Amino acid sequence: MTTIRVGHLYPDYLNIYADRGNIAVLTRRAAWRGHELEVTSLGLGEAVVPGAHDLYYVGGGQDREQLLVAEDLLTKADALRAAVDQGAAMLAVCGGYQLLGRGYRGFHCEDMPGIGLLPLETVAGERRMIGDVLLECELEPGQRRTLAGFENHAGRTRLDPGGEPLGRVLAGFGNDGESGFEGCRTGRVIGTYLHGPLLPRNGWLADWLLAQALGHRLGTEDPPLLEPLADELEHRAHEVSAARARSRGGRYD
């Protein structure tokens, strides 16, 4: 058994749309393979120690909650960058995703500093982008998969030239409703607007994150291969969400 160490950033503030459920999925999928997920809360004033965790997770929140944590997250920026440079993985959702960029300007012109871990900036628009969303992703060369989730954000996120999106939008809005891309990925770090929570309907992404975290824990550059699971229910959840996205397409609410 291998213990996978997870640092959960601000679970008391950033947990909109049941994003905490992503941790539950990672815990169960690790356990089914004989591994243990050791989750540590990293809240306000609590330090990030590079090397102490294999995977970092930060969920979504409204502007009020993001304002509460943004300055504190900035104090953790150097340590998080060092942890990622040492091979730790990271998943950030919605508000957490925005704060991994250089900053987020809210609807009332609140300037929230970001930590610059992802090459992007976000500015709130006047209308929210809401609905089911479907992406095509290629996290591994030659392996295209679809990712289904739910988005609800006013932020318009724009990647820097050369920035790598998480995926191409097949249905829904994505980062800004214009570019045709959603999320951002650099190495083992993923940021996305997809709520739902995301991982119950996308078991393959949960496994990708677990493999990256295991690679860090075991000190290997290439992540280990995980034995497949009987994912009938997960596949069904994915297909239902994907069908909703395809039928709705994208629109402003």
The catalytic position among 153, 195, 216, 238 is: 195
pLDDT, tens digit (0-9, with 9 covering 90-100), for 173-196: 999 999 999 999 999 999 999 988
pLDDT band at 6 (very low <50, low <70, confident <90, very high): very high
SS3 228: coil
Rounded average pLDDT over 7-26 = 90
Give the start-to-end residue ranges of the domains of the chain.
3-248
pTM of the model: 0.95
Inter-axis angle of helices 203-218 and 232-248, nearest 10: 120
Is the domain spanning 3-248 CATH 3.30.750.24? The answer is no
Question: Which pLDDT value is given to residue 249?
Answer: 61
Alpha-carbon distance of 47 to 62, in angstroms, equals 23
Contact 61, 92 (CB under 8 A): no
Q: Please give the structure tokens belonging to residue 211.
A: 């493999």
- pLDDT, one tens digit per residue, over 220-252 is 988 999 999 999 999 999 999 999 999 976 554
Burial category of 163 from C-beta neighbours within 10 Å (exposed 0-12, middle 13-18, buried 19 and up): middle
User: Quick check: is 137 catalytic?
Assistant: no
Residue of 35, 53, 94, 216 marked active site: 94
pLDDT at 79: 98
Nearest to 129 by CA among 16, 248, 253, 241: 253
Can you tell me the distance from the alpha carbon of 165 to that of 158, in angstroms, rounded to the nearest whole number?
Answer: 10
Our CA dihedral for 187, 188, 193, 199, rounded to 10 degrees, sits at 150
Residue 195 a catalytic site member: yes
Model confidence pLDDT, tens digit, residues 125-161? 999 999 999 999 999 999 999 999 999 999 999 999 9
